[in-house]
């Protein structure tokens, strides 16, 4: 079967996916170990029997809803490939908002940075690669997730430090910047039964107190682990920005503001810590 015919049939089979064409192309790229550009350049090439069998198997799994990132074992974030497993969240484009904003902050040249609940390490590793002078620490409670982060750091050449523990508990600090994409979904949210999140670890998605429990814990801990004038940045749900701004303000942060993601939704809230004596 020709590549273009195989892709056409795959798109039809994956029609229930909002990204059917992209899904089919990424899965075939994975089988052939080629780029999407190569697929379109050589669309008249024939797939051999083994390639067809492998492609069919991946399509069948995708039809059950299994995420493409789990089928291929990776997802691109900020232009770089990150290994993804069932032990980690799948990096999403909206989280790149956090990177964009962090890179605009008035931080020292050799800023100390910590990424809490790092998962794949996408946030912390990206910051370390974008700002090579920054000293970045990755923290995760899950040993399995931390192993994935360590692998990604090694593959991408990011000189980060990996630490096991819950939020800021294992960290001495002080830090110039604390970043986190913590669990922030309410356990009753119907989105947990839809799309890719059905296959992702609930512990990395769900938080008590209507999704605010972990966000609150991080804000509470952060004031004791930031330098005077240091920053805290948190990803959150699009309806949680007001609540997160309130948490930061009540904890003594100033210059509190919220940034929007690619879809124009409130996604990242940040604030600057100022000690009572400053």
What is the reported pLDDT for 257?
Answer: 97
277 confidence band (pLDDT: 50, 70, 90): low
Residue 72 confidence (pLDDT) above 90: yes
* C-alpha count within 13 angstroms, C-beta hemisphere, residue 114: 28
What is the reported pLDDT for 206?
Answer: 75
What is the reported pLDDT for 176?
Answer: 97
Q: Does this chain's domain 3-64 share its CATH topology with 85-273?
A: no
What is the reported pLDDT for 276?
Answer: 61
Structure tokens at 263: 């879809």
Lowest mean pLDDT among 24-28, 55-59, 64-68, 151-155: 64-68
Residue 278 confidence (pLDDT) above 60: no
Residue 189 confidence (pLDDT) above 70: yes
206-210: average pLDDT: 77
What is the reported pLDDT for 275?
Answer: 72
Return the domain boundaries, the chain: 3-64, 85-273
DSSP-derived secondary structure for 66-95 = --HHHHHSEEEETTEEEE--TTSPPP-GGG
User: What does the chain come to in residues?
Assistant: 278
* Tens digit of each residue's pLDDT (9 = 90 or more) over 141-160: 999 999 999 999 999 999 99
Residue 195 confidence (pLDDT) above 90: no
Q: Which residues pair with 161 in a beta bridge?
A: 137
Alpha helix (H) residue ranges in the chain = 3-13, 20-32, 36-41, 49-63, 68-72, 96-102, 122-130, 143-156, 208-211, 213-222, 241-250
60 confidence band (pLDDT: 50, 70, 90): very high
Q: Which residues pair with 270 in a beta bridge?
A: 233, 257
What is the reported pLDDT for 274?
Answer: 84
* Tens digit of each residue's pLDDT (9 = 90 or more) over 82-98: 999 999 999 999 999 99
Write down the CATH number for the domain with range 85-273: 3.40.50.150
As a whole number, the mean pLDDT across the chain is: 92
Which of these CATH numbers, 3.90.580.10, 1.10.3720.10, 1.10.8.10, 2.40.30.10, describes 3-64? Answer: 1.10.8.10
* Tens digit of each residue's pLDDT (9 = 90 or more) over 154-181: 999 999 999 999 999 999 889 999 999 9
What is the number of other CB atoms lying within 10 angstroms of the CB of residue 119? 28
Residue 50 confidence (pLDDT) above 80: yes
227-247: average pLDDT: 95
272 confidence band (pLDDT: 50, 70, 90): very high
104-133: average pLDDT: 97
What is the reported pLDDT for 211?
Answer: 83
What is the rounded distance in angstroms from the CA atom of residue 157 to the CA atom of residue 105?
Answer: 24
Residue 119 confidence (pLDDT) above 60: yes
44-68: average pLDDT: 94
Residue 236 confidence (pLDDT) above 80: yes
Whole-structure pTM over 0.75, yes or no? Answer: yes
Structure tokens at 13: 């089979």
């Amino acid at each position: 079967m020709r590549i273009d015919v195989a892709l056409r049939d795959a798109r039809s089979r994956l029609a229930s996916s909002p990204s059917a064409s992209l899904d089919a192309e990424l899965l075939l790229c994975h089988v052939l170990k080629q780029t999407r550009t190569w697929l379109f350049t050589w669309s008249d090439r024939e797939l051999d029997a083994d390639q067809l069998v492998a492609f069919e198997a991946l399509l069948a799994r995708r039809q059950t809803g299994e995420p493409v990132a789990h089928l291929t074992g990776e997802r691109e974030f900020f232009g770089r490939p990150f290994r993804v497993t069932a032990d980690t969240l799948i990096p999403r484009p909206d989280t790149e908002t956090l990177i964009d904003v962090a890179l605009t902050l008035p931080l020292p040249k050799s800023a100390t940075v910590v990424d809490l609940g790092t998962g794949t390490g996408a946030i912390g590793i990206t910051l370390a690669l974008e700002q090579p002078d920054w000293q970045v620490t990755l923290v995760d409670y899950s040993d399995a997730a931390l192993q994935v982060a360590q692998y990604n750091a090694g593959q991408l050449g990011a000189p980060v430090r990996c630490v096991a523990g819950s939020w800021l508990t294992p960290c001495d600090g002080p830090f110039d910047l604390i970043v986190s994409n913590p669990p922030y979904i309410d356990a009753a949210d119907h989105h947990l039964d839809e799309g890719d999140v059905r296959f992702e670890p609930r512990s990395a998605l769900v938080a008590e107190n209507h999704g605010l429990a972990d966000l609150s814990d991080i804000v509470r801990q952060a004031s004791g682990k930031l330098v005077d004038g240091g920053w805290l940045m948190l990803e959150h749900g699009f309806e949680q920005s007001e609540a997160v701004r309130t948490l930061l303000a009540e904890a003594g942060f100033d210059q509190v503001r919220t940034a929007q993601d690619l879809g124009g939704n409130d996604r990242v809230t940040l604030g600057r810590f100022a000690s009572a004596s400053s």
